[in-house]
Amino acid sequence: MGDLWSMENPAENTQQSAVIDSAQAPQPGVAKDDPQNSKGNLQEFLNTSYGVIGRTVSTKSEPNTSSEYHFWVADSDKAQGKIEIGNIVAAYSDERNDITFGTVTEMRSYSDVDSFIADYLSHNFGEATVEVPTDIAEVVVVTCVVMRNVSSKTKPVGRSRVYFPSILGIQFAYGIVNEKGESIFSGAPIPVGVFENGDGTVAPISVDEDFLIGPEGAHLNVSGISGLASKTSSIEFTMKSLLTHTKKKVAIVMFNIKSKDLLYIDQSNERIKKDEWSGKAYEILHIPAEPFVKTRFFAPISTKLPDSTQSLRELKSEGFSWDLSLIYRDIPSLFSSFDWDDRMEGVWFVIQEKIERRELITYDQMLTWLNREIDNANRAHNQWISGGHVLTWSKMRSHLQRFPRSYEGLITTSGPGTDIPWKELADGSVYVIDMQMLSDRGQRLVFGRSIRAISDILENKEIEVDSVVIFVDELNKFAPSGQERSPLKSHLINITARGRSLGLVLFGAEQFASSVDKQIVENSSTYFFGRTETNELRTPNYSAFSEEVKTKLTMLPQGQLLIKFAKFPQPIFVKFPFPPCLPGDQYSSEQHQQEE
């Protein structure tokens, strides 16, 4: 345009047609004052240096309520693109007497385009490449679920400026600390990760020990698809944190059910040193980035090599092999549900009675006795043995004959067995039971036998620990959802319902929470959700989450989890560092030898 647009006669300040003094007129612009100038210490809950990121808004159709509020995002670089689902924000009332914390559950982008046809028209009736001089006004409206407010009054959020909260604000919002920053947990705070807010604020997130391992609540359930290393890593990290921060005497028993997953938890993880963020996270959370100590590794003995086990661990491991007296109560778990019926159960009761009367001491004795009973009945053309049909007895015999071969090393047929030294569990002990070499039924036997043994010693107060934490992956294998009942599943339900009073705590992991018995999942007071598939998110376990939170769960990156904890008003997305110990698949014997 050049000169055409330039003023030919620059303005001279000659005419003043002031009718109204604009300085006296109401100023609808941005309020000049800010919380830094206000009285009181409410500003300590806010990241005031970052500035205001929006204002609450309430409309006729979408009013703010005591449980939910909306705000629009300010048009500034510090607000636009910084807020995301799961962030925590703080609405600071215009009256400066309250702050309401909310977690972002939904974000919508509005424009003043009334309809699709309006935008079509705006592009000259459908010319998609056309450029326009003015961008259509757009606003991002954020919906937050109320977490907590400073006034502790249940009321809708009024006109407020919205900030990102400070670390204190975040921890206050989650009920971790009071307004002075003091822990309000009844037990020790156990860090489970760090929360990173949209403004970059990093806040340590802890759960209450009394709700993680009892007595108020207990049990942890972790779900998420495999392959992202979130489940095992997060539990290893949480257990390390627990052993570091607990005020109680805690022992841990882990079950290694696949590959070498947990077989090198006594080895340090070099990735922590290489990953700056992980190192810093351990520092912030006051957890030593060191592997587990006081560890012992157990596996069924090897029948091929003397004094060795069937473990994949190349370093030291201890063997166990169970004689009849140790496992007879768990033998039913080795049968499939198709084979185990009332008739079989009846026969087993007869055998079990003889074992409990110590008439049958070894597995071989049991088989010999069975052979004799069946032979006698056949010779006498007697179809019934102690009320059970001889064919049922024969079926029982063939199964019992097969088990020692199927679970070689696990079952000692003659002589005394070697049990896992449960009574040596002490404060800080970490046992790893390697059972990856066993079939599903064999794993059920080991798992069932172990938790029963631990229950017994806890009940009888034979060890000096307050809690024993049991960690098992693929929990669905041991307690699948559905109507089917097994002794092991019933026992696990019992543990999650009442185990906390004993001090028996279950940390379970599985791909899909819906595949685990509902009672076991619901009895947990802490949940970690890793990346989850869309189909799984349609199940009732996730009905409390908004669609946006679910969408975020489907895209959750490695090292991040959604944590739902009994005392948190809302779930929280946290990041956790690399585990403190070496993932089993990264162990190299050569490297280990070099280091040694």
Partner 1 sequence: MGAHHILNMARKFISAQGGEIAPLPLSEEELNPEVQEDLTYRVLHPIEANTSCYPVPYKFPDDSACSAFSFFEDGRQRTVLIGFVPSRIGQTDILIPVHFFCVASVILKRENHELKVWDEPIVQQGIFVEKSLLPKQNILEGFEEQGLNIVPIPAEGGDYYGLREKALQEAKKQRLAVEDLLITKWRESLDAEKHFLVVDGTLMNFRNERNVERCVGVSKSFKSRYFDVSDHNRILRMKEFERSWAFCFHDLEDETDDPRMGGRNRVSWYLRLRSRPNTDPEFGLVRVEISHHYTDQASRYANEISRSLLSERLPTSYPAPRWDKHLYPIRACENYLSSIMPSTVTIDASMKG
Binding residues (CB under 8 A) for partner 1: these are 1, 4-7, 9-11, 13-20, 22, 25-29, 75, 112-115, 117-119, 121-125, 127, 129-137
Minimum CB separation from partner 1 for residue 38, in Å?
Answer: 20
Minimum CB separation from partner 1 for residue 94, in Å?
Answer: 12
Which residue lies nearer to partner 1 by CB, 9 or 594?
Answer: 9
Contacts of 132 (CB under 8 A, 6+ apart): 122, 123
Give the number of residues written for the chain: 596
Q: Provide the CB-side half-sphere exposure for 539 (13 A, CA).
A: 12
Minimum CB separation from partner 1 for residue 134, in Å?
Answer: 5
Minimum CB separation from partner 1 for residue 164, in Å?
Answer: 24
Minimum CB separation from partner 1 for residue 107, in Å?
Answer: 20
Which residue lies nearer to partner 1 by CB, 1 or 555?
Answer: 1
Which residue lies nearer to partner 1 by CB, 80 or 183?
Answer: 80
Tokens representing 73 are 């995002």
Classify residue 542 as left (phi > 0), alpha (psi -120 to 50) or beta: alpha
Tokens 């009334």 belong to 114
Which residue lies nearer to partner 1 by CB, 53 or 265?
Answer: 53
Classify residue 21 as left (phi > 0), alpha (psi -120 to 50) or beta: beta
- Residue 419: what are its φ and ψ, rounded to 5°? -95, 165
Which residue lies nearer to partner 1 by CB, 13 or 483?
Answer: 13
Minimum CB separation from partner 1 for residue 117, in Å?
Answer: 7
Which residue lies nearer to partner 1 by CB, 25 or 305?
Answer: 25
Alpha helix locations (H) across 139-275? 167-173, 209-212, 231-245, 270-274
Minimum CB separation from partner 1 for residue 137, in Å?
Answer: 6
| Contact present, 130 and 123 (Cβ < 8 Å) | yes
Minimum CB separation from partner 1 for residue 66, in Å?
Answer: 23
- Residue 277: what are its φ and ψ, rounded to 5°? -60, -45
Which residue lies nearer to partner 1 by CB, 114 or 342?
Answer: 114
Which residue lies nearer to partner 1 by CB, 127 or 276?
Answer: 127
The SS3 assignment for 113 reads: coil
One-character DSSP codes across 169-191: HHHHHTTSB-TTS-B--SS-EEE
Minimum CB separation from partner 1 for residue 112, in Å?
Answer: 7
The SS3 assignment for 149 reads: strand
Q: Is the omega angle on the peptide bond into residue 300 within 30 degrees of 0, that is, cis?
A: no
Which residue lies nearer to partner 1 by CB, 14 or 589?
Answer: 14
The Cα-based distances of 333 to 18, 143, 362, 483 in angstroms read 94, 50, 19, 17
- Measuring CA to CA, which residue among 186, 206, 207, 190 is closest to residue 244? 190
Element (H, E) at 566: none
Minimum CB separation from partner 1 for residue 50, in Å?
Answer: 21
User: Which 8-state DSSP code applies to residue 413?
Assistant: -
Which residue lies nearer to partner 1 by CB, 138 or 547?
Answer: 138
- Measuring CA to CA, which residue among 175, 139, 158, 146 is closest to residue 97? 158
Pairing between β-strand 99-111 and β-strand 138-149 as defined by DSSP bridges? antiparallel
Minimum CB separation from partner 1 for residue 111, in Å?
Answer: 10
Which residue lies nearer to partner 1 by CB, 136 or 544?
Answer: 136
| Contact present, 320 and 299 (Cβ < 8 Å) | yes
Give the C-alpha separation, 537 to 553, whole Å: 9
